[in-house]
Amino acid sequence: MTDEGAGPIVPGPVLRAPANRVSPQAIGFWTLSALLGDAVLVVGALVAWLVVPGAPGWVGLLVLLLAVAAVAHVVLMPRIRYRVHRWEVTDTAVHTREGWIGRETRIAPISRVQTVDSRQGALMRLFGLASITVTTASAAGPITVDCLDADTAAHVVARLTAITAATEGDAT
Amino acid sequence: VIPSPGDGWVRLSPRKLLLDPVKAIGQAIVPVVVALVGISQSDMRFWPVVLPLAVVAPLVLGALPWLTTHYRLTDSQIQVRSGILNKTTSTAPLDRVRSVDLEASPLHRVLGLQKVQVGTGVDDDRITLDALASADAHALRTALLGRRVVAGPQVVEQSYATGPGTADLPADLPAEPAPAPAPLPVPAPALLATIDWSWLRFAPFSLGRLVLLVGGLGVLSQVADELPIWNETTATSAWEWLTQFAVVAVVVVLAVGGLALWLVVSVAGYVLQWWGFRLVREHGSLHLTAGLLTTRSITVEEAKVRGVEVTEPVLMRLVGGAELSTLATGVQSGVTQVLPPCPRTVAVGVGEAVLETPGPLTGALAEHGPRARRRSWFRQLRDALDLIALLAVGWWWLELTWWWLAALGAALLAAAAVVGEASYRHLGHALVGDHLVAGSGTLARVRTVLETDGIIGWVVSQGWWQRRIGLADLTATTAAGAERVVVRDVRLEVAVALADAATPGLLRDFVVPAGT
């Protein structure tokens, strides 16, 4: 840490991780959805390689590489995501962290929350999961908590709705 | 079928009856003429029937909107209803009115009319009254915005009760807002800026209009294709004629011609757009008027102006020019250009007058350090390398001389280095009083100032590479302007400290000292 350049190095404050993990079922959900998506890609590439006559050998190698990358994605991504994804709702703010290669931390004050939506896709229902999206007046500010278990999601939505109904003003 | 006014409902200006048919005829002229020509060629007998119909139909169609559109101002709302079969009623609570814009095309101006657009909290949903008599339009604007000065959110009910007879507005609107129960005096209008024609020197350096010019030339070239003189023989002979002269001379003539054309277009556009420009602060609102043929009058409530942005495009910087925009909530796009291209000192001065805080636009920004510089360089170099790789494929395909590619590649890399360094130097952040300041831009230098009150959330994002070197992009989300202000490539702990300082309390629960 010798090339900071912008002033003396003082150990500054850091954001702690939000308190709660998402549902463990999320690993299964992410694995399945990644598997479905990647399988289409790999099978498509494989069929294309087999069908096109006279495709050189190195294209086969590319398909193999793609398959290896897909397997790594399916196996690793959900586990890393589960370690990274966290959420917390306090009386004053909503705080989430997400990502698997990158990291994205979002914080919004509850006094500025405008809508609280929950969403449950077909696959998510299979795993008993639901997502919550909290929007503010800014198009850049929606906060999504992916893959809570459905009961927790319903509970959080009810709590957030109660808090936001009690706040006044137009939240801009 | 057609409701009559009453109960406070008022029609638009009767002069709209002249305005709409002219517009309707303008829109219907081509099909009508085509139909007439078609009929006249086949049979002359229908003329006595068709001709009156062609004249009367636009008049009737034009008159319908006037007959069916009414508006009124109640104690708490502005309401507009229109339509015969599909009746629509738009209402806006008066305390949600954020902007009132007046616009007048040359036709409007001949008739003494104004088109009024009322902006409310929802960005795309505006209430439009087209058209009102100028005096009524101005009175309505004063009423809508003047009332807001008087009526703070807490005293809404009270001041509405003490307001003037609002049911029969705007026929006899008061020019001034009603006497306020609050002790705050209404400040006199203050002139913030007015047009200075020496600013015309910046017009050619502002490239916004270049798009229009290129588009116009595109249309022209399409027309040129249709011209009878442009066929193959003339083309070939013209080409031979061209090659007889030095190609260089032709290029020079074209370049000079293009520059001259650009000068004329840019200066004319500047004059058309900014003629009679005035920026005034009155009734707690910013009020901009400008325009030679079409006049615009834009009013934004100052409480909704959450910040400003000073942009110095690369060409304008060479001559010391800048542009100023306000970031507001409830305005159509959020970003409103409030100054024509003008000297940087003027833009900064007016910007700080709008902010009512000295410093955010003049103070130094905290640099982001060598790592951010390296990232800026790498980002540009990577783009350049991508482009070079693409070019190399093309070269290989077309079997061109490799020397040219080498020279081009070197030039691209040099340009990338320059742009990378420039984009690093534009980076920066500061917290001046209760204003967050962010520097950005690759070629243009942009400084965005946002009131910390207007920040409604934070996003800290790190890509994989940023995580390795401890940098982050800090985004302040807001309802104003482009809805986000990004401080790019800042050290993570600096980002957290900045966010914590800008919105005290919001991060309190989540911030812990380093090393725990």
ipTM for this prediction: 0.87
- Of A65-79, A91-105, B10-24, B423-437, least confident by mean pLDDT is B10-24
Q: Tens digit of pLDDT for each residue in B251-281?
A: 888 899 988 988 998 899 899 889 899 999 8
Nearest CA in chain A to B452: A172
Please give, rounded to a whole number of angstroms, the shortest distance from the CA of A126 to a CA of chain B.
31
B148 touches chain A (CB under 8 A): no
Residue with tokens 């198009």: A139
From chain B, the residues in CB contact with A109 under 8 A are 456-457, 503, 506
CB contact under 8 A, A14 and B506: no
Q: Is the pLDDT assigned to residue A116 strictly greater than 90?
A: no
From chain A, the residues in CB contact with B500 under 8 A are 13
What's the Cα-to-Cα distance from B266 to each of B201, B205, B313, B344, rounded to whole Å?
A: 10, 9, 15, 19
Interface of B with A in 327-346 (CB under 8 A): 329-330
Burial of B190 (C-beta count, 10 Å sphere; 0-12/13-18/19+): exposed
From chain B, the residues in CB contact with A90 under 8 A are 509
Q: How many CB pairs under 8 A join A and B?
A: 148
Amino acid at A60: G
Q: Tens digit of pLDDT for each residue in B104-151?
A: 888 888 888 889 888 776 555 678 888 888 888 888 888 887 665 444
B460 touches chain A (CB under 8 A): yes
Q: Is the pLDDT assigned to residue B46 strictly greater than 70?
A: no
CB contact under 8 A, A6 and B467: no
For position B59, what pLDDT does the model report? 73
Q: What are phi and psi of B344, to 5 degrees?
A: -55, -40
C-alpha torsion angle, residues B25, B31, B36, B42 (rounded to 10): -170
A56 touches chain B (CB under 8 A): no
A77 touches chain B (CB under 8 A): no
- The highest-confidence range among B93-97, B166-170, B444-448, by mean pLDDT, is B444-448
Please give, rounded to a whole number of angstroms, the shortest distance from the CA of B464 to a CA of chain A.
5
Nearest CA in chain B to A171: B456
From chain A, the residues in CB contact with B121 under 8 A are 170, 172
CB contact under 8 A, A5 and B497: no
Residue scoring higher pLDDT (B86 or A72): A72
Amino acid at B337: Q
For position A3, what pLDDT does the model report? 41
For position B451, what pLDDT does the model report? 92
Q: Tens digit of pLDDT for each residue in B306-327?
A: 899 999 998 888 899 999 999 9
- Of B114-118, B301-305, B386-390, least confident by mean pLDDT is B301-305
From chain A, the residues in CB contact with B464 under 8 A are 101-102
Site from B462, B477, B492 to mutate, A interface, most A CB atoms within 10 angstroms: B477
Cis check: omega of the bond before B170, within 30 degrees of 0: yes
d(CA B163, CA B179) in angstroms, rounded, equals 8
For position B123, what pLDDT does the model report? 53
**Structural tokens at position B315:** 């060409």
For position B183, what pLDDT does the model report? 43
From chain B, the residues in CB contact with A171 under 8 A are 456, 479
Task: Enumerate residues 6+ apart whose C-beta is below 8 A from A32.
Answer: A123, A126, A127
- The highest-confidence range among A4-8, B143-147, B167-171, B374-378, by mean pLDDT, is B374-378
Site from B509, B511, B512, B516 to mutate, A interface, most A CB atoms within 10 angstroms: B509
A86 touches chain B (CB under 8 A): no
Three-state DSSP string of B101-112: EEEECHHHHHHC
Q: Tens digit of pLDDT for each residue in B449-491?
A: 999 988 989 999 999 999 999 999 999 999 888 888 999 999 9
**Structural tokens at position B361:** 């636009």
Q: Which of A12, A95, A105 is opposite residue B497, by nearest beta carbon? A: A12
Cis check: omega of the bond before B171, within 30 degrees of 0: no
For position B14, what pLDDT does the model report? 83
Roughly what angle, to the nearest 10 degrees, separates helices B16-42 and B47-68? 160
B505 touches chain A (CB under 8 A): yes
pTM of the full structure: 0.76
Please give, rounded to a whole number of angstroms, the shortest distance from the CA of B313 to a CA of chain A.
25
Sheet with B70-73, edge to edge strand ranges: B10-11, B70-73, B77-82, B88-93
Q: Angle at the Cα of B412 (from B410 to B418), degrees rounded to 5?
A: 105
Residue with tokens 């959330």: B457
